[in-house]
Amino acid sequence: MTADPRPRAAHRAVPLPHPAEPVAVFVQDLPGGALTAARPAGPGRWAAGGIEVAITADGGAAPVSIDSSDTVSRVAVRWQHALPDAALILGDAWERGYGDLQWRHRQSERLLPWYWLAHTPHDGVTTGFGVDVAAGAFCSWSVDESGFTLWLDARSGGGPTTLAGRTLDAATVRRFGGTDGSGPDQDTAGSPWRAANLAVATMASPLTRARSAVGPVVGANNWYYAYGTDFDEAAVLTDARTVVELADGHPVRPFSVIDAGWSPGGVAPGGPWDAGLPGVFDDMAATAARITEIGARPGLWTRPLLERGAEPVHTALGPGGPGEWALDPSAPDVLAGIEEDFARYREWGYELVKHDFSTYDTFGRFGPAMGASLTDPSRRLADPTRTSAEVLVAFYRRIREAAGDMVLIGCNTVGHLAAGLEDVHRTGDDTSGHDWERTRRMGVNTLAFRMPQHGRFFTADADCVPSTPHTPWERNRVFLDLIARSGTALFCSIDPATRTDAVDADLRAALRLALDGGESGGIEPLDWLGTTTPRRWRTADGDLEVDWTSPWGVEPGAC
């Protein structure tokens, strides 16, 4: 075959269209129904079947609102734009990352929650689209050969939403890398890391930046050596003494967090949350006072949307397990009960509360299983006049108000909706005190790929660094060092049996650096375009090369 002698034209990046200039809009009134093409109904307006969508230009942004005389389930907004075939595409996650965050070649059916970025390696151009935090709908994107689509999920649980004559402010759309001043970085050729940081900053708000300035969040958490069993107040106080000793007189006091297992329900329990486990934690206020006396700041874990009992006391979405009930976050009685719980934690003297499992308890699914459908069609919220996104934002706001000045960690929360309403966000699925591979896959991945959200949406938390007999300290200590340098939240699960002079020295150095706020300028994954667990990192001490793998490599299917 003879090579084509004609010179190839140099590729020129074609600017993305303005967010307020889609080529088509589609609507769906009932779940499972057909997507109907909406017709133009005036400047920036489209209508079909009683649903009207408005997309207006507001500088470089485009607010999207929805009106419906009956019900609405989804709206799809389509823009025409062909990305280069070689482009690498990055999206976010519904709630936590599960070791699956990565730059990937175009995959048309790939679900891209909240925002997407496209990077073309040969010219260094990075562009993309996204939506502001606290949207009124669950927003995701798909990018294909000829364009990209914003999918606005406006359902209430698994059913349609009845807007009852009000206008839904569904989302504010942003373009990243615009060449007319509409994006955060007019010089689109450059570092994709810088582009990701600028994009996230554009979607943030003054409220999110204020909440993320809570200061260093550093301390002990007993989950990854205790796993909710066989611990008591004496063990909790040992954890507090350990972290205070390792902080070595630092002026910023570390936290000492009691994770699941303190309440009568046992491991990963449901409420009520009005007392500790009898005979083990008889006085939760006294335990908090003793932690404070030791010199640590007491913290507590809770699961606000699960209760135990033969029948639910509060409005429930359905069974959460044998003798358990998943509570409905749209119900006023549920929110009132949660407000009482958080007021009680404050009265007990806890300075930090980690609230967990609320996405799972609302939708019956963890992030990877939520997909584009989010939940089962039969899982309906008590209030069908508000979207799932609106209900969750109100739920997070109610917790924020009830918590007062307590530091809030959201775990299994929807970060794009909780931004500004929680101080710290667990950005990835659990690390492990039993299996190093899980820490490598989950912890390293989320540290690298969601670190741009740190300090803009919230304080990022890549989860605990374990020191246990079951995991190799030579691996964990590198993960520990990177988190400390990053300035993100650092919690350690320290089994007292693993303490040696060498381990203590590593922990002391990392905890003190983290309490200082990490390295000035943070760290950067240098090879994140080509891997899910970066090995090369820029640090203040120069580039760091890390070998995360075990002697046999990486076990396939681990985690």
8 A C-beta contact, residue 510 and residue 490: yes
Measured distance CA(413)–CA(61) in Å, rounded: 26
Residues 6+ away with beta carbon under 8 Å from 92? 101, 112, 113, 114, 115, 416, 450
The string of pLDDT tens digits covering residues 306-341 is: 999 999 999 999 999 899 999 999 999 999 999 999
Burial class, 469, CB count within 10 angstroms (exposed 0-12 / middle 13-18 / buried 19+): exposed
Measured distance CA(95)–CA(361) in Å, rounded: 13
Q: Which two tokens stand for residue 154?
A: 């406006």
What's the Cα-to-Cα distance from 199 to each of 188, 256, 331, 423, rounded to whole Å?
A: 11, 34, 35, 20
Helix (H, G, I), strand (E, B) or coil at 445: helix
Tell if the pTM clears 0.85, that is, is over it: yes
- Does the CA dihedral 47-53-57-58 come out positive or negative? positive
pLDDT means per 10 residues in the chain (559 residues)? Answer: 40 80 97 96 96 96 96 98 96 98 98 97 94 98 97 98 94 81 48 96 85 88 96 98 98 98 89 96 98 98 97 95 95 98 98 98 98 97 98 98 97 97 97 97 98 96 98 97 98 98 98 97 96 98 94 79
* Cα of 175 vs its chain's centroid, Å: 21
